Amino acid sequence: MRVVCAPTLILISVTICCSLTEKLSNGSSPNIIIMLMDDMGWGDLGVLGQPSKETPNLDAMAAQGILLTNFYTANPLCSPSRAALLTGRLPVRNGFYTTNAHARNAYTPQEIVGGISKDEILLPEMLKKNGYISKIVGKWHLGHRPQYLPLEHGFDEWFGSPNCHFGPYNSSVRPNIPVYNNSEMIGRYFEDFKIDLRTGESNLTRMYLMEGLDFIRRQTEAKQPFFLYWAADATHSPVYASKSFLGKSQRGRYGDAVMELDYSVGQILSLLQKLGIEKNTFVFFTSDNGAALMSGPQESGSNGPFLCGKETTFEGGMREPAIAWWPGHIKGGAVSLQPANVMDLFTTSLALAGISPPDDRTLDGLDLTPVLLNGSHQLDNRPIFFYRGNEMMAVRLGQYKAHYWTWSNSLEELKEGINFCPGQEVPGVTTHDQKEHTLQPLIFHLGRDPGEKYPLSVLSKEYEEVLRSVSAVVQQHQKTLVPGMPQLNMCDLAVMNWSPPGCEKLGKCLKPPTSAPWKCNWPH
């Protein structure tokens, strides 16, 4: 196995980034659209083998662009992965993790006290340097208190919600989640923005589509470069779709949601072409983590051939569908085996915009433009780290993945019916206690064994050679890692969405309880 050492890899990525930044800065800055789905699995797209073939627009997007089959999220849960995308940094660096217990997934429910740190630089803040106007449509999930909201961190516009669309709630115990237009709430889920839990009907995806289309039109008319972060969440339980899509899919309600999202992607790409800006607009489609198999089969997707799903650091939890589309720049019908992740979108977007990345912090994202535009193989051996909370669980290098820790979820949760790996138990791999393998990692060849079922024999020469290479990468990573201040440790019922900005105008302010903070309990 050919391995590039970490210092050499960093030098290569910096050199590529600088040369491309200089080159692209001489031309016009392309518009950037990142479409981030919620709990959509690798196996949910027809182009990736879903047998119902119900994603014609995404399949066409892949045929016209490039399909990245080895693309990963930075964490198997929503909030940390979104923080990683927008900062270009691992959650353990940007603070979106917890130290309340070992290797626990944490996110931003209503009672969370923290959010994205003011010390982090988000992608829209950087893009402002070249005059970009930025909008987020959909789910934010980086903190719901006023100081953490999108317009405080570089976005110019927002239509969506700070939290998941859970509910409905009794307002005296827990408030329903607010929906924002820019800096003020305009209503709440289940009260003003309906989600019918019985039928699955909701017009939210249609609203998100209209908001995205309107933003594109306005910025095009203004001749303004734009960044659209389109973060629709219909595939997160409770899944929903508008009336015209309900009952259409062979896959049930989850499939209905996927079909509407696929339609929406098609409408966005079609508008770019109608406006004549498709050759000046880079579009990237992916998901925040693997399909939530614990919600299946009615409300979860497919992770294809991969092991387990959301919440785990097995392939099913972190390998994502990914398509890049940019007519005239990206060769259509290409398939890239390049290992890549959501943090690369930060650095890649900056390169496309002709902006140098911040040099006062460690970035984990690499510039993918050589791969996307030129089919370069220079980054083939870059490592992919798999974190769960404060622990590095695994690392991928080339075709090999080494597990230093394994854990699905506890036996107690399993007995309660919470199963992250339904029908996929692999003895010694999908362990129900936190099993350490630091001295003798479990190593899989993902080309021969994408389902992580057959670890290499520790007595084989192949294992010995791979371990030597992987160990050097892990040692370098751990030696230089400086964890950020954890933002997801404290909870308090008093900080929930009782009185969001704008509630006075609507008569929807609620009285909070007395503050009584506690350390959040993260069971898995």
Catalytic amino acids? 78, 141
Instruction: Confirm whether residue 288 is marked as ligand binding.
Output: yes
According to the annotation, is 421 in a ligand binding site? no
Would you state the structure tokens that stand for residue 256, as one six-digit string? 């209905």
Counted residue by residue, the chain has a size of 524
Nearest to 302 by CA among 50, 496, 88, 505: 50
Instruction: Give the three-state DSSP class for 249.
Output: coil
User: Measured between alpha carbons, how far is 117 from 49 in angstroms, rounded to an integer?
Assistant: 39
Cβ(339)–Cβ(456) below 8 Å = no
Helix (H, G, I), strand (E, B) or coil at 74: coil
Tell whether 38 is in a known binding site: yes
Contact 316/394 with Cβ under 8 angstroms? no
Nearest partner of 320 among 75, 90, 33, judged by Cα = 75
**Is residue 289 a known part of a binding site?**
yes
CA contacts within 13 A on the Cβ side of 111 = 18
Cis peptide leading into residue 297 (ω within 30°): yes
- Dist CA 78 CA 288 (whole Å): 6
Binding site annotation covers 497? no
Whether the Cβ atoms of residue 340 and residue 322 lie closer than 8 Å to each other? yes
Question: Please, are residues 499 and 178 in contact by the beta-carbon 8 Å criterion?
Answer: no
* CB 227, CB 123: distance < 8 Å: yes
Lookup result for tokens 């119900």 = 54
Contacts of 377 (CB under 8 A, 6+ apart): 338
Query: What is the DSSP code string of 270-309?
Result: HHHHHTT-GGGEEEEEEESS---GGGTTTT----TTSS--
- Cα dihedral across residues 201, 206, 211, 212: positive or negative: positive
Binding site as annotated, residues: 38-39, 78, 288-289
Binding site as annotated, residues for Ca(2+): 38-39, 78, 288-289
